[in-house]
Structure 1
Amino acid sequence: MKTKFSKLFVTILIVAAVTCCGALGVFAADDANADTTAATTASETVNTDNDHNSSLSIGLVAAALATGLAGIGGGMAVASAAPAAIAANSENEKTFGKSLIFVALGESIALYGLVISIMILSKLV
């Protein structure tokens, strides 16, 4: 069981690192495009369609991975916290508030991923 968890943890870390690199690439490409357009005059034309398409595709993948992995992580957290909260509540009803906090913390992981993906998508527009 421990090796299965460690393999899953390493996989999630690798995918999160790739997602962060993709997001940083989008932000760097956005800054590079802003510098390029600021430096050009009205008579010069710059073909940035390929740069824009590649940064758009990387940004969309980064947003999808941020939302998807955060949803998976939130689901894993709720899957382990909710049964424990139900069991604790069945033994002692005073633990309801404390156990509800732990379940809500697990669900907040998915909300953080959604916020990050919205931030990435707002930079792409």
Structure 2
Amino acid sequence: MRRILRVVLVTSGLLLLASLVLLVVAVTADPSPATGAADAVSSGTATAAAASSGTGTNGSALIGAAIAVAGSSLGAAIAVAYTGSAALAAMSERPELFGRAMVIVGLAEGIAIYGLIVSIILIGKA
């Protein structure tokens, strides 16, 4: 039983580390200008929208992905802490509740998985 809770907590920790890596990548990312904007600037017909079309979107998407993973990991950690302690208390009185309790703890961990899916979608759009 403790082993399962350790696995859940380690998963939350790994997702939090992944969000920190994404944040570092987002901060150190060099925005690449759009090729169409560079051609338009060289011909002298660039508009403000064309000149700024590709400068900050990659960094913003990566920062958004990092925030999604970090927020969902913290939320999942809080949820697992409360549901895990309640599950242990319930199982100490009635050991046959093990399966139901682990399902509830697993549902709490699902919050972090949703944040990871959102970050994958955001990175795919970048």
Q: Match of 1:52, SS?
A: coil
Going from structure 1 to structure 2, the CA distance change for 1:117 and 1:90 (only over 3 Å counts) comes to: same
Rounded Cα–Cα distance in structure 1 between residues aligned with 2:116 and 2:40: 34
- Residue 60 (structure 1) aligns with: 62
Rounded Cα–Cα distance in structure 2 between residues aligned with 1:66 and 1:80: 21
Q: Percent identical across equivalent pairs?
A: 33
Rounded Cα–Cα distance in structure 1 between residues aligned with 2:70 and 2:40: 36
- Residue 17 (structure 1) aligns with: none
Work out the number of aligned pairs and report it.
84
Shift in Å, 1:123:
1.0
Give the letter for the 1:60 counterpart. Answer: L
- Using structure 1 for the length normalisation, give the TM-score: 0.60
Shift in Å, 1:49:
6.7
- Using structure 2 for the length normalisation, give the TM-score: 0.60
Going from structure 1 to structure 2, the CA distance change for 1:86 and 1:50 (only over 3 Å counts) comes to: same
Which structure has greater helix proportion? Answer: 1
Q: Structure 1 regions of 5+ residues with no counterpart?
A: 1-32, 38-43
Rounded Cα–Cα distance in structure 2 between residues aligned with 1:101 and 1:64: 27
